[in-house]
């Protein structure tokens, strides 16, 4: 006889969050960030409706104008929803992906070299770009690693624990790798749109198509990130390194290599380079993007833990069937392959 399982409450705020974890996350991520960005948008750094100007720090007004809202949005929303829906167990799973640094040195080298190479090759497609390209100065090259560290600790840390650590595993389980990534890419891009009313987006000289192009570029870039995420065993630091590398190249190296090109041209380059790489990955993986079903090909049946909710552990954390008749299931295997207690769970729960 199987022991009774603990049935979570089906009413109240926490039950709502469990049933609608993704919706709650996106609403919080958008609401918290956009509310925090409102003073920046209304200030003289943006629409100029309020006679306040955000000062520059380290040569940029983004540290005080953009980063507070970025930190307050996705990562905070992910923490709140995970804690409410899954408690300490869910928070441990969420945090474990943030510390998966041991993925092999080839991933570090590959990301750090592939990003500037892909961006440079894509830029050569612009008329006259190849003939007018110049080598970055020694000062720029020496400043690249510090810039990479700054981008990692700011933009990447503020965003990826939410987009890729929280939302991506759930979207992949619900819609599959490609569709789930496209959904995430669109929402990731749209989240930035208020910033196009500020100096961040080039306001007031921004064109109507630049925000559209930015959102469009976020989709293939997300496909690349999903492939890295899946192939590295759901390593969020590797996705953060990729994100920081893209920002660092365009913030520091690209403007000096191609001084005749503008910020508008950089949007074309991001879209072109990300699309080409995404198409190659989609073809090479046949649309799986490195997402292999646990137990696939081994004859082992798997089920999701708490499948009735949006939340729960990711693909690496599914429950393994104890036998083939579907009657019993052991506790979820954790991210390090260790079992929890051997108490059996009802497979039909």
- Report the pLDDT value the prediction gives residue 132, as an integer from 0 to 100: 85
- Report the pLDDT value the prediction gives residue 292, as an integer from 0 to 100: 79
- Report the pLDDT value the prediction gives residue 130, as an integer from 0 to 100: 86
- Report the pLDDT value the prediction gives residue 297, as an integer from 0 to 100: 28
- Report the pLDDT value the prediction gives residue 59, as an integer from 0 to 100: 83
- Report the pLDDT value the prediction gives residue 171, as an integer from 0 to 100: 97
pLDDT in tens, the chain (349 residues): 555 454 455 667 888 899 999 999 999 999 999 999 999 999 999 999 999 999 998 888 999 999 999 999 999 999 999 999 999 999 999 999 999 999 999 999 999 999 999 999 999 998 888 888 999 999 999 999 999 999 999 999 999 999 999 999 999 999 999 999 999 999 999 999 999 999 999 999 999 999 999 999 999 999 999 999 999 999 999 999 999 999 999 999 999 999 999 989 999 999 999 999 999 999 999 999 999 754 322 233 333 333 333 444 444 444 333 333 333 333 344 444 443 333 323 322 2
Please state the three-class secondary structure of the chain as a single string.
CCCCCCCCCCCCHHHHHHHCHHHHHHHHHHHHHHHHHHHHHHCCCCCCCCCCCCCCECCECHHHHCHHHHHHHHHHHHHHHHHHHHHHHHHHHHHHHHCCCCCCHHHHHHHHHHHHHHHHHHHCCCCCHHHHCCCCCHHHHHHHHHHHHHHHHHHHHHHHHHHHHHHHHHHHHHHCHHHHHHHHHHHHHHHCHHHHHCHHHCCCCCCCHHHHHHHHHHHHHHHHHHHHHHHCCCCHHHHHHHHHHHHHHHHHHHHHHCCCCCHHHHHHHHHHHHHHHHHHHHHHCCCCCCCCCCCCCCCCCEECCCCCCCCCCCHHHCEEECCCCCCEEECCCCCCCCCCCCCEEECCC
């Amino acid at each position: 006889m199987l022991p009774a399982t603990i049935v979570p409450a089906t009413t109240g705020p926490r039950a709502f969050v469990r049933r609608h974890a993704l919706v709650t996350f996106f609403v919080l991520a958008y609401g918290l960030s956009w509310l925090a960005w409102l003073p920046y948008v209304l200030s003289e750094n943006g629409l100029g409706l309020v006679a306040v100007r955000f000062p520059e720090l380290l040569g940029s007004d983004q540290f005080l104008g953009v980063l507070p809202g970025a930190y307050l949005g996705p990562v905070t929303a992910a923490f709140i929803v995970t804690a409410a829906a899954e408690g300490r167990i869910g928070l441990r799973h969420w945090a474990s992906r943030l510390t998966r640094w041991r993925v092999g040195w080839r991933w570090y080298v590959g990301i750090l070299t592939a990003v500037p190479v892909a961006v440079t090759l894509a830029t050569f497609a612009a008329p006259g770009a190849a003939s007018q390209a110049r080598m970055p100065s020694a000062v720029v090259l020496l400043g690249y690693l510090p810039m990479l560290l700054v981008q990692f600790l700011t933009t990447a840390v503020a965003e990826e624990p939410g987009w890729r650590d929280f939302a991506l595993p759930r979207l992949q389980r619900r819609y599959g790798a490609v569709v789930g990534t496209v959904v995430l890419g669109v929402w990731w891009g749209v989240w930035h749109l208020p910033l196009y009313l500020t100096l961040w987006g080039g306001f007031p000289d921004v064109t109507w198509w630049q925000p559209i192009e930015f959102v469009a570029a976020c989709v293939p870039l997300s496909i690349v990130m999903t492939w890295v995420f899946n192939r590295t065993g759901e390593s969020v630091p590797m996705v953060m390194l990729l994100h920081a590398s893209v920002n660092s190249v365009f913030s520091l190296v690209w403007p000096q290599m191609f001084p005749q090109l503008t910020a508008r041209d950089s949007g074309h380059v991001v879209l072109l380079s990300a699309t080409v790489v995404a198409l190659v990955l989609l073809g090479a993986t046949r649309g799986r993007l490195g997402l292999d079903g646990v137990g696939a090909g081994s004859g082992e049946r798997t089920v999701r833990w708490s499948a009735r909710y949006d939340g729960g552990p990711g693909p690496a954390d599914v429950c393994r069937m104890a036998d083939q008749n579907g009657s019993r299931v052991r506790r979820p295997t954790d991210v390090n392959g260790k079992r929890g207690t051997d108490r059996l769970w009802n497979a039909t729960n």
